[in-house]
Structures are given as C-alpha cells and as structure tokens.
C-alpha cells in the first residue's frame, strides 16, 4: 500500500480525497494541515481512527517541521492541496495568499526535491508530486471559448495570481531539477464538507434561516461545476496513471449562470424542506454590488484527461446538487461546529466560489 502525503487534507477537497483513499483502501494517508479557517478535523471525524491514517498539524511554510514529516513517514506520493483559496479574502488581505500559495509551495517543492534525491532508484521511479490548482489562473472567458492545458495564464485576482505563480514554480522544478511533478487545474467544486462561507453553503444556510441570499451583480457570471467526489477520483487517476511533467484540466461539463444555480438550490430546498413562512426560498434572493475583478465565465475542456486516463465525471449537475443539498440538510451540526457557533456570515468570504 502506497503512502500518500496530502497537504490541506482537512479542507473541502482534501477531506473528500482522504475519505476516498481510506474508504476504498487505495493508500495510507499522512494528512498535513495547518487548520486555518477552512480546515477542520470535524470533516474527518468518521475516519480519524482508521488504520493507515495519521494527522500532523503543520504549516507548509515551516521548513523544519515539514522536513521532519517527510523523514518520519517516507511518503511515496505527495498531493499538494494546501492553499489560501478564497477570492474575496484575497482581495481583503493578499499577503497571506502570497505567503502560503507561493512561498509555501516553494518550500514544499524544495523539501520534496531533497527527499526525492535520497530515494533509491525503484522508489524514485514511483514517486510523484501532484500540485492541485485552479482554472482561475487562465483569467476570464467571453461568451465563447474554453480553457485547456495550452491556455495562456491571465490571472485577475490576488488569489489566482498566487496560484498561477505556484503553478509556474512547480513546472520550473520539473524542468530545472527533474522533480517528477504534475499539475491539475480544476473548475468550481461543490459537494460535502465545503466551508459554510462559500457560495453553495451560503445559499442553503441563509435560506434555512430566512435571511437574504446575496448574488453578485446580476448573477450572470458562468462557472463550470464539478462534483467534488468526481474531482478527487480524477486526482487519484492523475497521480497514479498520469505522466510526469504534464498538466491535466479537470472539468464537470456543467456550465451554469450563478443565478440559475441559486434558483435551482432554492427549488431543491422548497422540495426537501419547505419554508413555513414564505412561498419559495427564491423570494430571498438579493442582488448585491459585484466583486472587483469578477471573471465573467470559466469553462474547462477535459478532453486530455478523458483520452489519456479514461476519466469523465460520473455525477450529473442535477444529481450532484441534489446530493449536496441533502448532505447539508443532514449535517447542519457540522456547519455549526466548523463555524464555531457563528450564525452571521461576514462579507469576507460571503460569495467565494472556490474550495
């Protein structure tokens, strides 16, 4: 059984990845997480005592601590998800994003390079470093066009600029130092364990509390929605079957306007948990001032990963959102726990769309 070191394993995508690997006995997991606002061990409570799972609280910027973790556990694979990932927060405070996403990735690459050089030839042949990134590094699309692995970078926010920088560092460590890396750029994720300040949970939780559901601008921004359980299966495909030095774009083939997503969630809530006070949760939709630098449209061409690794999303848009709404309705205690009892969601993080 391979040992996988996962950074950010207590976050949204990370916790879903840990669940996939352990529940299907695909690998042993070393989960390294700083446990910032979006990382919560509550998301991993059900598997925390599984054999083959260990947790280490650590900051990826802490060279000494991360080096000791590599030496102690001797991982076969590294899956790097740890990042500051919230667009709104990056606008309010860019410095933390530059530190974690750029310098943290640099630190992890250097430690991995030194570790890789110490391995024997057989273990070197199997070692891989997978950097999980975002489609936001490509900037904004108009009404036509699509992102793929050859799209030029054009980041528009401090968050996407920091992720673009980390992508470039990862490629540089492949070409300069021969570290066997891979990069994935994914579209918008949704599903279980997403931090409750993000778009989908905000809609659900505000609706249930009878509060306004805020929508930026006119809600015309378009995103390609990817169910997180499909995404983590793709990540495992890439790191076990992909080619070193390659980039793979991962998308859900589900382009939707934000306002249509909001209305669909309201409709699902009307069906699953109808309000006793209003006819429809959609009556709570409120349009608010648009976010600075808000990209109009993202869309992913996932042909490469389909052709090379035989991966396609298994979950339809309707299935995924029905599962997601049901999960939040069944796990309101989890939401309260990770929010620390806070019921009012602040503007920071109010309508963020990423992990």
Catalytic annotation, residues: 135-136, 159
Show the tokens assigned to 272. Answer: 């699953």
E strand or H helix at 7? strand 3-7
Helix axes 12-23, 228-241, angle to 10 degrees: 70
Rounded distance between C-alpha atoms, residue 14 and residue 12, angstroms: 5
Q: Report how far apart, in Å, the C-alpha atoms of 124 and of each of 77, 112, 120, 173 are.
A: 10, 11, 6, 15
Q: Residue 185's beta-bridge partner residues? A: 133, 249
Q: Could you tell me whether strands 77-80 and 128-134 are parallel, antiparallel, or unpaired per DSSP bridges?
A: parallel
Q: Which residues contact 68 (CB under 8 A, 6 or more apart)?
A: none
Chain centre to alpha carbon of residue 7: 12
Rounded distance between C-alpha atoms, residue 58 and residue 69, angstroms: 9
Task: Identify whether the C-beta of residue 228 lies closer than 8 Å to the C-beta of residue 194.
Answer: yes
Mapped onto helix, strand or coil, the DSSP state of residue 180 is: coil
Rounded distance between C-alpha atoms, residue 301 and residue 36, angstroms: 32
Chain centre to alpha carbon of residue 259: 22
Rounded distance between C-alpha atoms, residue 20 and residue 40, angstroms: 17
Mapped onto helix, strand or coil, the DSSP state of residue 248 is: strand
Show the tokens assigned to 102. Answer: 């750029």
């Amino acid at each position: 059984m391979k040992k996988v070191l996962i950074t950010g394993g207590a976050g949204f995508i990370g916790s879903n990845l840990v669940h996939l690997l352990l529940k299907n006995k695909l690998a042993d997991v070393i989960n390294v997480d700083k446990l910032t606002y979006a990382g919560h061990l509550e998301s991993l409570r059900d598997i925390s005592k599984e054999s083959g799972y260990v947790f280490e609280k650590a900051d990826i910027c802490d060279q000494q601590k991360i080096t000791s973790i590599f030496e102690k556990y001797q991982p076969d694979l590294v899956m790097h998800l740890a990042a500051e990932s919230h667009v709104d927060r990056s606008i309010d405070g860019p410095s933390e994003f530059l530190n974690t996403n750029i310098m943290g990735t640099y630190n992890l690459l250097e430690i991995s390079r030194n570790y890789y050089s110490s391995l024997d030839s057989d273990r070197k042949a199997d070692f891989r470093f997978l950097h999980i990134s975002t489609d936001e590094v490509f900037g904004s699309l108009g009404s036509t066009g699509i992102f793929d692995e050859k799209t030029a970078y054009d980041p528009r926010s401090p968050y996407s600029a920091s992720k673009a920088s980390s992508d470039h560092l990862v490629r540089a460590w492949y070409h300069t130092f021969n570290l066997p890396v891979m990069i994935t750029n994914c579209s918008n994720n949704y599903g279980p364990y997403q931090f409750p300040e993000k778009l989908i949970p905000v809609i659900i939780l505000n609706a249930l509390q009878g509060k306004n559901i805020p929508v930026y601008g006119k809600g015309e921004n378009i995103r390609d929605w990817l169910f997180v359980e499909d995404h983590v299966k793709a990540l495992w495909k890439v790191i076990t079957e992909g080619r070193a030095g390659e980039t793979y774009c991962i998308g859900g083939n589900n382009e939707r306007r934000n306002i249509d997503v909001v209305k669909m969630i309201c409709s699902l809530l009307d069906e699953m948990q109808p309000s006793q006070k209003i006819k429809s949760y959609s009556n709570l939709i409120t349009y608010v001032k648009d976010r600075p630098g808000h990209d109009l449209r993202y869309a992913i061409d996932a042909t490469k990963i389909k052709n090379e690794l035989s991966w396609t999303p298994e979950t339809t848009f309707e299935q995924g959102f029905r599962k997601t709404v049901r999960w939040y309705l069944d796990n309101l205690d989890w939401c309260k726990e990770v929010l620390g009892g806070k019921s009012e969601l602040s503007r920071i993080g109010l309508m963020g769309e990423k992990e």
